[in-house]
Structures are given as C-alpha cells and as structure tokens.
Chain A
C-alpha cells in the first residue's frame, strides 16, 4: 500500500486536467494530474459532473414510479439497476416471481452484458487511436439495441424489469431473432478479437502495462474482472450467490493470475463468449407459460406499500458487484436507497493511489480497462 504523499514540485511539475470530456467511454469524469514530463506524479479525482441527486430523488417518488428513474443511474448498463431494485423490493415484500419472468430477466441481463462489453471494447478505440474497434463495437451493439426495442419498447432505458416480474411477455418471434443475432455475432467475434488482441499498437500500449496486483484488489475492494484477473479466483456473484436461475445454466467464469490491461481485454472477449453460451441455453429453456408479473401489494400502483426492513441486494455487472441498499419504513415511498456503484473503488481511491507512475496517455486507457463508469460513482 503506497501512500501518495507526494509533494508537488511547482517548478518541475505541470497541472493538467483530464476530462470531463476525454477519449474513452466512461462518462464525464475529471482528474487533476500533476505531471513531470510524461509521468503522472499525483492525481486528484474530481467526480461530481454527473451528480443528479438520485438517492434523494428516490425518497420522494412512489415505489413504482422509481422504476423509471433508476435506469439512469448507470447509463451504460441500465438493466442491472432495475434488477437489484426489483430483487430488493420482492425480498422485502416476500413475493415470488413467476418462472418465466426469471428467464426473461436473465436473458435481458446477459444481453446487456454483451452490449456493455462491446461498448467498452469499442471505447478502447479512443485512447489508442484504433477507431475501427469503436465502429465495429457500436454497430454490433446497435443491433442488440434493436432487439431491446422489439422486446421492451425503448433502446437504452428499458424500464422493463419491475418489482413483481417483467412488464410484458415476449413478442412473437423474438427468440428466433435473438438466436439469429447470436449466430452472426459469433461469426464476427474472431475478426474483432484479432483486430484488438493481435494489434501491435495495442500490445505496445497494454501489454505489461496498467497492472493490477492482487494486494491492491483486496485493499480497494475491487470486484469483477479486476478481481478475477488479478487473483485467479472465480468469484462471480452469478456463481457464488446465484439469482434469477443462473444456477440452472452452465457457464464458466474466465480468470487469470497476471492482470495487465491486455489480459483484462482478453477476459472481456471470453465473457462475451460465455454470455452467448448462456443466452443460447436460455432460448432453449424458456418456459412456455404466459404468466410474467404479480403485483407486490393490493390495490392500484399509486398505493403500493413495502413492509419495513433493510436489505442489500447485488448482481454481477460488467464491472463488478453492483448493489442497492434499500431501507423501507412501510410507506408508499422508500425511506433510503443507497447505491453501490461497481466502479466506486477503482474510480476514486484507485485513481488517487495507483494511477501515479503511469504515463499521461495511459490515464484514459487506465480508466477504460479498469472499468470506471462515472454515472454510477456520482449518482
């Protein structure tokens, strides 16, 4: 654990601002850096550009109305918000969701995972200059968004997973379309992998660079790909604490023991392949019933109440453990909801302690491969 008590040498070091607009796709995030030549000596993270006050806002809206606000907390992967909120409310109310709803939720979460991983891989294009990856990735993601549009009615903020189930049943022919898309994606992945993982520029920028040692992982509390690539342990919430029928599908959790940026990019590709594997099993095993939602209280939605209690629910997002801590006092509005952003540890303390020592051009790449997503830090 190296304390950054570096004294700034005003004659030698220059103060630079990274962001809030910067190459890479992690949202508006600013870092004040003191650089000596090309090497960063000291950093100060400056979050808060995307602070929208969600935690206070959620205390003032009905339980059902909140479902429209929460997708906006993590912009890139909105479905995990809906999922943890629904899991928390259902556990407090003590209701059981219909079987088909579990499978549809799993399908949505995995589709969101593929889309977000593609987005992150595309985001490498900015810092490294390989814009081809951005075009390919965003185009593939667009086709997933088309599928979401057919299923839920909106492309980015789906507002589809609600406490009690999902909002509507699958439209006709959806599983066939999804299956077709997965086949085309599988055919394109090898080219995409070759583009990024065999590229000499990427090798120069990421191999043996931006390391994440195992001790750092434990000190900071990093989860997700960061933890799995550094410690080699398959600690994934889908395996350790399965939710929504993850215990009924087969998949592997890719791990590594040497965590440089190249390994983490490689793991992202492996995770996309595992998600495709899960999706194919979901398509096969989707139940044929029509029951997909139960109300979680009696009466109409303006009057639904949740029994008092405090609960923490978490899911595995692309960046790690993402959770909500929900406190209810038995009324129609939540009493307190606290959001645990998956990239909170690496986005704040990680930048302060472990970014110094890298080069300036590594800073956006650091944020991209470590998985920093600023909307969920700022809420």
Chain B
C-alpha cells in the first residue's frame, strides 16, 4: 500500500464532523445503567419458596462460590432442606451453570450488573427474589430445555405381560446393569430422601455405590438402617421417591428398584460379608422378642449387632409375619423373604415358632427369663365390617386368606376354596393384594377370573398405589369404586351378591365419618363369596388386668415413649404397626430405635 500523498486527505478527514459517534454518553450511568440483553448473566435471584436447598448449584460451581447456609427457622417440608444458597461474588464467574442445573427452576440470573461497595461483606450474598440491592430486577439468563444439565426421564421398568395373571410370577422384572447405571447417574445426591425416609436410610450413598460399581459397599450402607433389604426393595411404600427433588421438574429416581438391583445382584459371599460386618460377639445380655414381623426382625438384627442374644417368639409356623403371610408372591417372592430372614438368622438370632404369647408362654415368664422384652405383634387380625349378612360362611377376611394363599403357593397347603364370582370390599393395597391373588387362583382353577372390587373412595382417591390400580386393571379386575357396600344378599344360606350404593361424600361437614349415599344409583354385584379387606387390628389378650388398665391405647395402637419404652414398665418395649405406621419401613425404624433403647436400658440396669 502506498503512502498517501493526496492533497485532499486532510480535507477528507473533515467529514467526520458530521458523522454519528459510536459511543453514546450517558448521564447517571450508575443510577440508570444500560439495560442488558435478555439472556444477560448478571447477579442471581432465587425464589426461596421454590428452592429445595438441594445443593446441586453448589456442587457444580466451577469456582466453589456457592455455599449452602443453614436456615433453621424455615418450616420443615417433605422434599426440601432447610438450607439456601449464598454466593460469594468475589469468586463467581457468572457462568450460569448453577441456573442450568437447578432442580426446581428457582435460581435465575437478573439483568443487574453493577454493585459498588467499600464493605467486602456485601459481596457474599444470599440471593432472594429481589437482587443484590433489594430492588426488583428484570430476569436475564434462565434455563431452558436445551441448556438443561439434568436427566429428567426415568428409565422404564419392565413388567411381565398380561399373561402374568396365569401364575404367581413376579410382575416387576428388575433393572439390568445398563439401566441401573443410567438410573443411578441421574441422582444429584442431595439427601432430601434420607430426611423423609422413616428409617433415615443412606440413600445417596447406596445409589452412588451402584454408580461406582461397588455393590458390597451398597449392602453395607443399606444394612446400616434396614436389614430387610430384599423386602423393601420390592414392596416399600417409597416415601423417598415422592420427596425426590427431581420430581419437581421431571420424574423421581427409581430408588426402590435401585435398592432391589443391589440386593439381587451382589454375589452371595460379598452380601454375607457386608450384612454381617456389623454383628458383634454376644456378651451383653438376653432379650426376648415377640413377633417375627418386620419390627421384630429389625429389632433382632440390631440387638445382635449390639451384642445381645435374641430369642424371637413367633405364633405361626414360619417366621416373617406380614412379609411371610401377607405380601403376595407376585410382588414379594418367597426366595427374597428367605434371603432376608436367613441373613438375620446367620447374625445369631434364634427363632422359636408356633409359640403364641398368652397361650404357649406368658408375658410375665418372659419378663423373668430375659433382660428385656420387645413386642412386635403387629396387626394380626382383620377388622370386621358389621354389614348385614357378614356372618355367612362365605364371607372371608383378608389376613387369613392371604396367609392361606401364601401357604398354598409355598406348597404346604391345599388351595383355599374360591368361587367363580367374588366381590372384594376395600380400596387399600391389601385389598388389591387380595383381589389380584384371587384372580390368579381363579385363573388356575377355572381358567378365567371374575373379581369385582368395591370401596367407598372413588378411583382417584384410593389409598392404594397407582401401579396396583393400573396393573390390576390390566389383569382384568372389575372396579366399582365410589360405591359403598350396604348389605350382603343371602338366599337360602348362600351369598347371592353384594348390594352397593353410590357414594356422594364420605365425611360430613364436621369431618366425621358419615357417608352420604345417592339412593337412585344402587345395584347388586353378583358374587358368591365376599372378601373384606378394610383394615387390620391387633390382639392384646396377653396383657394381664393391671397392664390392660395402665397402658394407654389410641386407635388400636399402644402409647409408648418416643424411644419405644412403656412408661410404667421400663423392661417392656414395643414397635411396628402397634406403635407407628402401619408400614414396613416404619416398623423397621421403630425396631431399630427400640433396639438402641433396650441396649441403653440394660446398660443402665447393670450399673
């Protein structure tokens, strides 16, 4: 390029006098700064009512700028932690990765970008809805589906096809290795599930063990709080999944199936080594446990780990209680139950079966022979329904029937007598267990099934799990939900059917149980057998007169101290359905608490 020697070049430069300058001067640039673009990454804003306190923003921050601050005065809510993020703007790189990974879409970035202060403490800031200067700001960078950093879709669990109703094959197939790795990779390890679980299981840790490929560690983590891993991995009510923070925008982690993956796939020797790693030498005393249901089993295992000799008295022929005689085979196979119970036996627990408290052995005898007694007798009786006609022979009750059905599937009993058309009253999980078991037995005996269910609650308000309702429908159950049973039609000593009326409302304006029926909509459900599954209760006939009057009852449950001890009888403890629940995981937790309290009580007594 040649040098410019043009005479006109100085003159040409004058054209710039009339041209627009590029930069524009602005008065008050701090009070009214230029508005940033719509995606600007400025200071953060956080909606504290939506924020779950999970801490994923803190985990992904590249500069460790976010700390989770405990706020103890926040009300405890299921699915949230009592913490909120605070950001150190001296470290923040304004990358927006925290916004992209936020599970509840509460963290955003605003268009605010100016902050001047001589006090460095103002740069360490807990964002709320109104930015860093407590004035509402326009929203800048937000997350959308493209920039999302979470994996929101759960991996579908495979189920057996509809032909499953011809047998008692387990309905849920379980995860393969690939699916388990993929599902466990979704977990953000926040710990909200642990706080919600009644037994406070170390859920993030065992999910992590699947991801790391160390299943033995997973068993150890599970057995820290729950010795019934196989059972809970199949039929737990999974409150953790309801609380999982991923449920805010997507689908929660399939925690129950991941637990099942660990217990099904750990090699047997590693499983035994891990489960029995907590057990210690028996040197501290002897304890009697009445009832080998979930609470009794849990208490027995944890007392073994604390060094006690344990004798478990069970009134039936096989130990297990509701997991042996209650849960149906297609949801809880026998071999899983045996796996759990045999592990507890290996821990050094004695099972004495066919020993009923009050008949074969008395509570006073136990008190004299042992250092302490734990009652885990559970709700072993069905609650009756005083309908006209319910005294007929062909009116059966859930608890007895389920026990008979399981013994039949086990091969030690004849098939219970079931008819071709059956009605089931009830809307909870037990009612569905009864109905679906009946369906399978009918398929086996008659080649076809006809089971009708009726309950006061309408379909969308049933207490049973959604998957039970859906799977039952696939298998061919007939639903009459929202129809209340009125009486059982008896003709010539045989049942002709169940008479039901449509329910308008169950509770009256004061909240008391007072169903209101629609007289115009009533019909007869044809059936020759009626099964009643509306609830359970316990039998307390082993308490002597003095105990009967001293022990407080409430709705069929006994009142005990928070640690499981009876106030007037410090050697006596209780747990399980008769204390809290009714639920397996609650039973496990009460058993564990009672074990620790028994240990404390016996040590104090020794001093």
Contact = CB atoms under 8 A, between A and B. Distances in A.
Interface stretch (A35-43, A84-92, A238-246, A296-304): A296-304
A22 interface: no
Nearest to B41: A153
B97 A142 contact: no
A302 B1 contact: no
Interface in A121-140: 139-140
Contacts of B144: 168
Given A150-B39, A293-B146, A69 B4 contact: no
A142 B34 CA distance: 14
A219 interface: no
A198 B2 contact: yes
Interface in A53-84: 61-62, 64-69
B471 interface: no
A149 B96 contact: no
A149 B39 CA distance: 7
A349 interface: no
A194 interface: yes
B60 interface: yes
Contact of B1 (A65, A168, A262, A297): A262
A197 B188 CA distance: 58
A68 B63 contact: yes
Interface string B139-153: 011001011011100
Contacts of A108: none
Interface residues of A, number: 44
Contact of B95 (A67, A168, A266): A67
B89 interface: no
A292 interface: yes
Nearest to B103: A300
> Taking each of B4, B95, B140, B151, which has the highest tally of chain A beta carbons within 10 Å of its own beta carbon?
B95
A139 B21 CA distance: 9
Nearest to B208: A303
> Taking each of A68, A140, A171, A262, which has the highest tally of chain B beta carbons within 10 Å of its own beta carbon?
A68
B150 A300 contact: yes
A157 interface: yes
A167 interface: yes
Contacts of A146: 37
B352 interface: no
B414 interface: no
A303 B9 CA distance: 64
B38 A301 contact: no
B145 to A, nearest CB: 9
Contacts of B124: none
Contact of B39 (A65, A143, A153, A193): A153
A153 B211 CA distance: 35
A15 interface: no
Contacts of B150: 300-301
B395 to A, nearest CB: 52
Given A64-B60, A68-B62, A139-B23, A300 B188 contact: yes
Interface in B57-110: 59-63, 93-97, 100-101, 109
B186 interface: yes
B186 A299 contact: yes
Contact of B211 (A198, A262, A293, A303): A303
Contacts of B95: 67-68, 157, 159
B59 A299 contact: no
A159 B141 CA distance: 13
Interface string B528-550: 00000000000000000000000
B540 to A, nearest CB: 50
Contact of B37 (A62, A153, A266, A292): A153
Contacts of A61: 62
A169 B185 contact: no
Contacts of B147: 167-168, 293
A159 to B, nearest CB: 5
Contacts of B184: 299
A51 interface: no
B205 to A, nearest CB: 15
Interface residues of B, number: 44
Given A68-B62, A168-B39, A300-B185, A198 B96 contact: no
Interface string A319-357: 000000000000000000000000000000000000000
A184 to B, nearest CB: 10
Given A154-B94, A171-B38, A299 B22 contact: no
B146 A167 contact: yes
Nearest to B184: A299
Contact of A300 (B36, B93, B101, B181): B101
B185 A303 contact: yes
Given A149-B40, A150-B39, A300 B1 contact: no
B56 interface: yes
B410 interface: no
A64 B98 CA distance: 11
Interface string B34-61: 0011111100000000000000100111
A301 B93 contact: no
A301 B1 contact: no
B97 A298 contact: no
A262 B100 CA distance: 47
Nearest to A65: B62
B177 to A, nearest CB: 13
Contact of B185 (A143, A151, A298): A298
Interface string B109-143: 10000000000000000000000000000001100
B39 A142 contact: no
Interface in B433-487: none
B1 A266 contact: yes
Given A153-B41, A200-B3, A301 B23 contact: no
Interface in B270-309: none
A106 B543 CA distance: 82
B408 to A, nearest CB: 44
A351 to B, nearest CB: 28
B93 A157 contact: yes
Interface in A294-323: 295, 297-303
B306 to A, nearest CB: 37
B322 interface: no
A203 interface: yes
Nearest to B150: A300
A152 interface: yes
B151 A298 contact: yes
A146 B61 CA distance: 26
> Taking each of A153, A157, A171, A292, which has the highest tally of chain B beta carbons within 10 Å of its own beta carbon?
A153
Contacts of A301: 60, 97, 100-101, 149-150
> Taking each of A151, A154, A295, A297, which has the highest tally of chain B beta carbons within 10 Å of its own beta carbon?
A154
Contacts of A169: 146
Contacts of B101: 300-302
Given A193-B1, A198-B2, A299-B182, 6 more contacts: A64-B149, A65-B61, A68-B62, A149-B36, A194-B4, A197-B1
7 contacts: A65-B61, A68-B95, A146-B37, A168-B144, A198-B9, A300-B56, A300-B187
The 3 closest A-B pairs by CB, nearest first: A299-B185, A68-B95, A198-B4
